[in-house]
Amino acid sequence: MSIWVGKQTRLLVQGITGNEGTFHALGCRDYGTQVVAGVTPGKGGQSVEGIPVFDSVATARAKTECNTSMIFVPPPFAADAIMEAVDAGIELVICITEGIPVNDMLKVQAFMEGSSSRLVGPNCPGVITPGEAKIGIMPGHIHTPGSIGVVSRSGTLTYEAVWQLSNAGLGQSTCVGIGGDPINGTDFIDVLSAFAADDDTEGVIMIGEIGGSAEEDAARWIQANYEKPVVGFIAGRTAPPGRRMGHAGAIVAGGKGGAEDKIATMRDCGLQVVESPGEMGSTMAKVLGR
């Protein structure tokens, strides 16, 4: 079992005719994901290595019954692409694009009010259920099917955690990158709720970073609602205040969003927070008694 993506996923790739779009659409298909359609406005009727391309998401949806979208549209047009997918009723919209203006995401948020679509990202590596479906840019081969859920604001740090888990003999149920932007579609609590309802997820690795208070909110939610063990790591203990550390959302501003506060709250709420990012996998093994 897993959450959100799997054998049932029928994937649409928005921006499929661009370099990145093509490369990763094929990467996902090679992994075993059903990639059924692509969309690039103005390029309907073409195909990319056998994947049919449509002018609009609505047409792609009507013709192929795609239920999930992966977005590689450049930043100035990405918010529009998200809203088009939501409007067409796509259940799960995963936006990989980095660099979308905050104001555009506020528009997306207003547009999505009352909609049943789920947005993951933007600025994220995607979602993978090992052995079933990969939707995103992560290297598929480091993953192994299993029972640990991973949720993270960072891309490569997620790969690091997955690699450590696989080395420790622990496979993954689903890994979700929620992205490094200040305004995103899915937060830690959304993912944790889904893991809570998934019988085959035994434990969770939660990787946060400086900026905002999503980690504190999640920790308090875990204390009140979540039974399974959670191992956490927060990146950015050494980050200077007031500087954006690569991710648009990774900034300690106005005395808020610092790593120490997050770690303290997570520990108070019963999470196992590791000191070293090199110990995420081994700590999970220890917690589960493996």
Contact residue for another protein among 180, 185, 203, 232 (CB under 8 A): 180
Contact (Cβ atoms closer than 8 angstroms) between residue 131 and residue 141? no
Nearest distance, CB of residue 127 and another protein, angstroms: 14
267 touches another protein (CB under 8 A):
no
Selected range binding another protein among 62-70, 80-88, 146-154, 220-228, rule: CB under 8 A: 146-154
Nearest distance, CB of residue 86 and another protein, angstroms: 17
143 is catalytic: no
59 touches another protein (CB under 8 A):
no
Nearest distance, CB of residue 89 and another protein, angstroms: 23
Contact residue for another protein among 42, 45, 114, 255 (CB under 8 A): 255
202 touches another protein (CB under 8 A):
no
169 touches another protein (CB under 8 A):
no
Residues that bind another protein (CB under 8 A): 75-76, 99-104, 106-107, 109-110, 125, 137-139, 142, 152-160, 163, 180, 182-183, 207, 209-213, 217, 233, 235-240, 242-243, 245-250, 254-255, 259, 275-279
Active site residues: 247
